[in-house]
Amino acid sequence: MSRTRGRRAQTLVAYAGKPIQLLLQYVRRRPVSHTLVLLAIIAAVGCALGSQFAIKNLIDALPAGRDHPATVVSAFVTIVVLLFADNLFWRVAGWISVRTFVAVTGDVRRQLFGYATGHSPTYFSAIRPGTVASRVSATANAVFAIENTVAWNALPPLLSVFGAIGMLGFVSPWMAISLLLVSVCMATLLFWLASHGSSKHKRFASDAASVDGELVDVISNMATVRMFVATQRESARLDAFLNGEMTSREASLRFLEKLRLLHAVATLLLSSALLGWVLWLWTLGRATTGDVVLVSSLGFAILHGTRDLAVALVDVTQHVARLAEAAQALLVPRDMEEPVSAPALEIRDANIDFENITFAYPGRRPVLDHFSLHIDAGQRVGLVGPSGAGKTTVLALLQRSFDPPRTSGAVTISGQRLCDVSLASVHDAIAVVPQDVSLFNRTLLDNLRYGRPDATMADVLRACEQANCRELIDSLPEGLDTIVGERGTRLSGGQRQRIAIARAFLKDAPILLLDEATSALDSESEAAIQLALDRLLAGRTVVAIAHRLSTLRNFDRIVVIQHGRLVDDGTPAELSKRAGIYRDVLLRQERRTATSAGVFE
């Protein structure tokens, strides 16, 4: 299954600048249902045109109808049958399309979501989450709108126009040929003009996505907005985005109206000429009364059909432009696409190696400079150093959030380069307890089971006891069924931290990463969480970042990093006696602790 998804992802990016091909690859996934819709529409339009010809036959049969009533009855029955079949085929097409077109939007959202989630953190740091979500929905909506517009607004008038032209050949072949040439020329001109408006439609789509992203950004930071009394400021900022969107939308719609006006004038002249031509043939005795009625009705059918077709085509052009804009923004190549056949990581022993790594974020100086570190399985290693030294980057590379260039070293677990194995298997082997715990706006149970969805209730409760959060769960009004709020805001920082530790217990991964897991907590909360962490560390390979060195006192090793290099390495006891960054920080923190204790005595 992962290989199939990988191939689809690699194929999908090729459609970034090809909206029509992107649409067709979703249509090809459901060939039978799309074909049935097409055939039903063709049959419905054929019946509608056939009824026009049947009316001609009825009118021509009327003068002798009293003497030969069978001819009139036959023409009447034919009209009734064709009208019934016309309505039946439309309903069949509508019934099938409801399921088919909706299913396609599901395919689009599913695949684009899967592709977007495969991007590296660099992609998400450079784009607003609201913009990503908006464009996924915009792409699906554009595909749905195109399918609906083509099926109900473009295809029927197109078939009607060409069918009507074909039927006019029975009255006058030259009339049919002339009308065909004029219609093709007019459609080509309109389509050419419509293509020149795609930049306006793309601009509108881009501005609309920006507004959605701005709304999500402000709403998700509403607490900060209120804290700084910035509601009016944000409203004014949003007004600027809205004005830009409204201007671009107005330009897009005005362009469409100009095309419709041009088409209206052209079709009026064409229909008048057509009616005058058949009347001239009638005066020469080369056309019957039924022919005049047929040409008149077909002329109006062509008039309305080409008008509807032109409107539909410019609407399709607008939707295609929106589809192209959204797809181009989403289907950018991934920074670190893994091979389709990448094997899973095999944990023989959970040892870790950073082998001479030099790494820089895009457009920045190197964060790690020829950095090498070996961690034995089961060792507990603390990373210490000033801000910007590269500690967080070490954890990010270990989680394979980024890949170092192949010529600039490698990260390995159990002797296997992380860039050569599947990303999912790397994440399966690692549990993380971050400083800023982010929870989903779901139940507490859903959040606890997130790393192990098949965990039993007994497993969950055991993990909660080990993480010292069983009392917390019992105190909540709905226990494990309590909704924790957006990013877990209904829980305190200490409560979220305990949930993160319980989640790590439940995942039971051989490698554990701690990223400032207690730095934001008060002393009482830190002490309670430290007990839970001590249980969690047992029997695992642990890599931890901590500004409070007291949390690392029971670790096997302390690694000191400065300017992206490993500058010291030893046990906490050894480093506390050796001049260097670790001892300087340790002494400052001890003095600060002593001062605080004196203040509260």
User: Does one domain contain both 441 and 422?
Assistant: no
| Residue 70 confidence (pLDDT) above 80 | no
> pLDDT-derived band of residue 220, with 50, 70 and 90 as boundaries?
low
The per-residue pLDDT of the chain, averaged, comes to 79
User: Does one domain contain both 111 and 247?
Assistant: yes
What's the pLDDT score for residue 205?
67
Q: Which has more pLDDT, 30 or 181? A: 30
Which range is least confidently modeled, 205-209, 322-326, 420-424, 549-553? 205-209
pLDDT winner (highest mean) among 62-71, 275-284, 326-335, 534-543: 534-543
> pLDDT-derived band of residue 32, with 50, 70 and 90 as boundaries?
very high
User: Does one domain contain both 423 and 477?
Assistant: no
**CB neighbours of 201 closer than 8 A, spacing ≥ 6?**
252, 317, 318, 321, 322
> pLDDT-derived band of residue 5, with 50, 70 and 90 as boundaries?
very low
The answer as to whether 29 is a domain residue is yes
The answer as to whether 341 is a domain residue is no
Q: Where is 592: in which H helix or E strand?
A: helix 581-600
Q: Which has more pLDDT, 310 or 406? A: 406
User: What CATH code is carried by the domain that includes residue 238?
Assistant: 1.20.1560.10
User: Does one domain contain both 361 and 475?
Assistant: no
Q: Which domain holds residue 124?
A: 2-330
The answer as to whether 492 is a domain residue is yes
Which pLDDT tens digit goes with each residue over 43-58?
Answer: 998 888 787 777 776 7
Q: With contact defined as beta carbons under 8 Å apart, do 372 and 356 qualify?
A: yes
User: What CATH code is carried by the domain that includes residue 448?
Assistant: 3.40.50.300
Which pLDDT tens digit goes with each residue over 491-513?
Answer: 887 788 888 888 888 888 899 99
Which range is least confidently modeled, 257-271, 461-475, 514-528? 514-528
User: Does one domain contain both 301 and 374?
Assistant: no
pTM: 0.65
What's the pLDDT score for residue 601?
45
The answer as to whether 336 is a domain residue is no
**In whole angstroms, what separates CA 291 from the centre of its chain?**
55
Which range is least confidently modeled, 198-207, 397-406, 454-463? 198-207
User: Does one domain contain both 103 and 62?
Assistant: yes
Q: What is the mean pLDDT of residues 218-246?
A: 75
Our count of domains for the chain comes to: 3
**CB neighbours of 414 closer than 8 A, spacing ≥ 6?**
345, 346, 347, 348, 349, 350, 351
User: Does one domain contain both 211 and 67?
Assistant: yes
Strand, helix or coil for residue 376? coil
The answer as to whether 464 is a domain residue is yes
User: Does one domain contain both 485 and 564?
Assistant: no
User: Does one domain contain both 458 and 310?
Assistant: no
Q: What is the mean pLDDT of residues 101-127?
A: 80
Which pLDDT tens digit goes with each residue over 565-593?
Answer: 999 998 888 888 888 888 888 888 777 66
The answer as to whether 533 is a domain residue is no
Q: With contact defined as beta carbons under 8 Å apart, do 104 and 147 qualify?
A: yes
pLDDT above 70 covers a percentage of the chain that reads 78
What's the pLDDT score for residue 531?
76
What's the pLDDT score for residue 209?
66
**In whole angstroms, what separates CA 52 from the centre of its chain?**
47
**CB neighbours of 381 closer than 8 A, spacing ≥ 6?**
375, 542, 543, 544, 555, 556, 557, 558, 559
| Residue 256 confidence (pLDDT) above 90 | no
